[in-house]
Structure 1
Amino acid sequence: MTKAPPRAVALIAALLALCLLATACGSSDDDGGAGTSGGSGGDLVVSAATSLKQAFEAYRPEGVKFQFAGSDELAAQIRQGVRPDLFASANTRLPDALHAEGLVGRPVVFAANRLVIAVPAGSDEIRSVEDLTRAGTTIAIGSETVPIGAYTRRLLSRLGSAQSEAILANVRSNEPDVGGVVGKVAQGAVDAGFVYVTDVEGAGGKLSAVDLPERIQPSVAYGIAVVDGAEHPDQAQAFIDGLLSGAGAQALRDAGFEPPPAG
């Protein structure tokens, strides 16, 4: 085999070096572009309670991304290091707790709601809370840790122990968020479930609401806070402002939410 002349070898080595350098420079430019686009740009990220889905999606300012789940699950994610820009909860306890832990700013109460008994549309088996005590009735409620579940148990405690125990004995499903309760009732998997009135209004005619006595209604208030270290603090504050007086406030009213409690 004939050896290449030394000058040819040197020329080939130089060409290879130039190719490697060009490739390295190209990689550096690509990485730099990706880093820039993934920095302070991008969407405002809002982690919100499932019951807010209809209203928030109707409101949705430009450049906003939503993550809906149970309020307790979203709070747990923030404690584990997830950093959305905003946390909107179906209660005030969770935002207040995260604020005390230094994970979110001072919470703002922006809406109120009330509980009803949801039944499949057209059903007339359940007409009052007393009907839920009948043997053989099947009920879905939220789990103890999610706001709808805590509100439900608070409501039941005001009925007295006999009625409360009879209703809880008929519970067949403890759901991780109110969407789970809505789904079980809408599918006919259970006879009834405790949900927010806004969930019935947003169910597209699949559910009917049975009103509950005012004397047992819990106070249902929604809190929102800017997450510490949010990438878009100005956009986050503008989103909150819109919920209090603007397009967001109108979307909440249209979905059946009530104004935040006075004081």
Structure 2
Amino acid sequence: MHRLRRTGLVVAMVTAVALAVAGCGADGDGTPEIRVSAATSLKTAFTDYADGLDDVDARLSFAGSDQLAGQIRSGVRPDVFAAANAKLPRALFAEGLVERPVAFARNRLVLAVAADERGIRGIDDLTARGRSLAIGAADVPVGDYTRTVLGRLPDATERAVLAAVRSEEPDVGGVVGKIAEGAVDAGFVYATDVRAAGGRLRAITLPASLQPDVVYEVAVVREARDRAAAQRFVDGLLTGRGAAALRRSGFLPPT
């Protein structure tokens, strides 16, 4: 009887340890599992990167950078946070919620139109009567970058373009969707988003004098379940498979 009780106790203890290990972020074959929260514009590149990993099982979630930062502030703890700007990761670092962020990619803002749209060749064409435009909301990176561009226009042109805005989207994916669906004539998105749209959109390059500095930064989140695995994922974005995936998707090097 005592032996049976001891055996049951040992089994229970082993089971508890196994559950604890599973909860620490390892999948069935022992590969470390991490959760990565990333800006919507990184979806193609990060999915490509994660699919090629064999030492880390990266579970990806995508949304607007500001929304993901807000989740971290609310207590959600992914292992890695990758944003479409530097401001949000640096703010979280100042708040003690992430480790020191690093720049891992750059992008370019473009004016995007449907592939068959021929009436819009530049920003000035957005001022014509009846034109419609989608932009990012003011508190998301693509919206901030867009407002930087508009703020560099002559005052009259800026007012006319803003008057054409029909939708302010919570992330760049929303802007892409509005253009692709024909709900608006144009929108400001990243060059990589046009590339990922499979020929549905056409990019109109902005003059260098209007182009904002679009930099992406990433950080390991404090209280990450597996800091070593999270750091390996981040390191791969700088040199290795992640950097290669970013280049394939059209992202520029961080410097």
- Provide the C-alpha distance between the structure 2 equivalents of 1:181 and 1:216, rounded to a whole number of angstroms: 20
Task: Choose which of 122, 135, 142 in structure 2 pairs with 1:128.
Answer: 122
Q: CA deviation at 1:33?
A: 4.5
Q: CA deviation at 1:31?
A: 6.0
Task: Choose which of 251, 256, 262 in structure 1 pairs with 2:250.
Answer: 256
Which residue of structure 2 aligns with residue 106 of structure 1? 100
1:170-201 superposed Cα distances (whole Å, 9 cap, x missing partner):
00000000000000001111000000000000
Which residue of structure 2 aligns with residue 227 of structure 1? 221
Which residue of structure 1 aligns with residue 24 of structure 2? 39
Which residue of structure 2 aligns with residue 51 of structure 1? 41
- Provide the C-alpha distance between the structure 2 equivalents of 1:255 and 1:104, rounded to a whole number of angstroms: 26
Letter in 2 for 1:86: V
Task: Choose which of 140, 146, 157 in structure 2 pairs with 1:146.
Answer: 140
Which residue of structure 1 aligns with residue 238 of structure 2? 244
Q: CA deviation at 1:39?
A: 2.7
SS in 1 for 2:143: helix
Residues 253 and 48 of structure 1: is their aligned pair in 2 closer, same or farther, counting only changes over 3 Å? Answer: same
Counterpart contact for 2:84–2:141, Cα < 8 Å: yes
The question of 1:196 aligning with 2:190 is answered yes
- Provide the C-alpha distance between the structure 1 equivalents of 2:232 and 2:47, rounded to a whole number of angstroms: 16
Choose 1 or 2 for highest CA Rg. Answer: 1
- Provide the C-alpha distance between the structure 2 equivalents of 1:95 and 1:139, rounded to a whole number of angstroms: 29
Which residue of structure 1 aligns with residue 160 of structure 2? 166
Letter in 1 for 2:251: F
- Provide the C-alpha distance between the structure 1 equivalents of 2:227 and 2:61, rounded to a whole number of angstroms: 18
Q: Which runs of 5+ in 1 are unaligned?
A: 1-22
- Provide the C-alpha distance between the structure 1 equivalents of 2:97 and 2:72, rounded to a whole number of angstroms: 8
Counterpart contact for 2:35–2:58, Cα < 8 Å: yes
Which residue of structure 1 aligns with residue 72 of structure 2? 78
TM-score normalised by L of structure 1: 0.87
Task: Choose which of 173, 181, 184 in structure 2 pairs with 1:179.
Answer: 173
Letter in 2 for 1:50: T
- Provide the C-alpha distance between the structure 2 equivalents of 1:222 and 1:36, rounded to a whole number of angstroms: 33
SS in 2 for 1:72: helix
CA RMSD after TM alignment: 2.2
Q: CA deviation at 1:242?
A: 1.1
Q: CA deviation at 1:30?
A: 6.1
Identity of aligned residues (%): 55
Counterpart contact for 2:120–2:126, Cα < 8 Å: yes
Q: CA deviation at 1:145?
A: 0.4
SS in 1 for 2:209: helix
Q: Which runs of 5+ in 2 are unaligned?
A: 1-7, 28-32
